[in-house]
Structure 1
Amino acid sequence: MNIKIREYQTADAAQAAEVWNQVVEDGLAFPQEENLTAETGDRFFREQTYTGIAINSEDNKIIGLYILHPNNVGRCGHICNASYAVRRDTRGQHIGEKLVLDCLAMAKEKGFRIMQFNAVVASNTHALHLYERIGFTKLGVIPGGFRMPDGHYEDIIPHYYIL
């Protein structure tokens, strides 16, 4: 698979929303519970500081994406946050790593100084291992910070990375 990451375009809305919704429906990583439509997705992806789209250049399908935006405002506006989504049938092929690395470079280009993840779910071991490998620092544990689809609560582990 040949992966290219580029900026989101409105024409990507339906495919990007489909990939995003797979993560929402899994209920294991994103706090959102509502699916995006092509219309609400387009608005959502365009309102971010940057939305990166991972394309399989062999068939031009969207296989992943990330959103990058400020984590806060004003005196904390130099800290950004991001979320990553990879199409279910392409997970395990290091697409997430490519997305995170591209996102960190883009965050720096956009003038951010720190990347902060507020809620990495403790059972999301693939993400935890990836962030550790890249050099993120864990901030601690928030007990029961994430409600799982079956209603039980799981710990979340905030992280940061100096850009």
Structure 2
Amino acid sequence: MIIRKYDEKDLQQMIDIWNEVVEDGIAFPQEEFLDSASGKEFFESQSYTGVAEDDGRIVGLYILHPNNVGRCGHICNASYAVSSDARGRHIGEQLVLNCLNKGKELGFRVLQFNAVVESNIHARHLYERLGFLQLGTIPGGFRMKDGHYENICPYYHEL
């Protein structure tokens, strides 16, 4: 498996993976699905979009962009998505590690996650194992697909 910058030929597979996570309704704040036009615009607008390719198939991706502007523009934010049929193979870990390096390469000083859902134990354990620190807990900060609210846990990692 390799992790590389996305190419336009990857877009449909990327959109499918992204929409799968949005449809799950338990990790991404977005509720709208991407189509070919909005997906192209969305992924092009990022500071960096990386994909995990395995035997010619996209199995995961990440987006990296500033978390804020101006005096806080040195802090970046990222989101990760792994195809459901490729989970459990540590692809997410490889994406996060690649993202940490890419963020530093792009001149960011901190990677911050604003809204990690408290019940997303696998992601939280991964982030903590990789040295991310939890900033606290925001009660009821995420509305799940079924309508109930769960706590979110912001994390950060110095680059």
Q: Compute the TM-score of the two structures, normalised by the length of structure 2.
A: 0.99
Match in the other structure for 2:34? 36
Give the Cα separation in 2 of the matches to 1:64 and 1:39. 20
Alignment of 1:1-163 (within 5 A): 3-56=1-54, 58=55, 60-163=56-159
For each residue in 1:14-44, what CA deviation from the matched residue of structure 2 results, as whole angstroms up to 9, or x when unmatched? 1100000010000010000011012211110
Q: How far is the alpha carbon of 1:133 from its aligned partner?
A: 0.2
Q: How many residues align?
A: 159
Give the Cα separation in 1 of the matches to 2:132 and 2:106. 19
For structure 2, list consecutive stretches of 5 or more residues without a partner in the other structure.
Answer: none
For each residue in 1:80-134, what CA deviation from the matched residue of structure 2 results, as whole angstroms up to 9, or x when unmatched? 0000000000111100000000000000000000000000000100000000000
What do you get for the CA RMSD once the two structures are aligned? 0.5
Give the Cα separation in 2 of the matches to 1:6 and 1:150. 35
Give the Cα separation in 2 of the matches to 1:4 and 1:39. 26
Structure 2 SS opposite 1:54 = strand
Dislocated runs of 4+, deviation >6 Å: none
Contact conserved, 1:13 with 1:39, CA < 8 A, in 2?
no
For each residue in 1:61-92, what CA deviation from the matched residue of structure 2 results, as whole angstroms up to 9, or x when unmatched? 10000000000000000000000000000111
Identity %: 65
Q: How far is the alpha carbon of 1:9 from its aligned partner?
A: 1.4
For structure 1, list consecutive stretches of 5 or more residues without a partner in the other structure.
Answer: none
Give the Cα separation in 2 of the matches to 1:88 and 1:149. 17
Q: Compute the TM-score of the two structures, normalised by the length of structure 1.
A: 0.96
Give the Cα separation in 2 of the matches to 1:123 and 1:68. 23
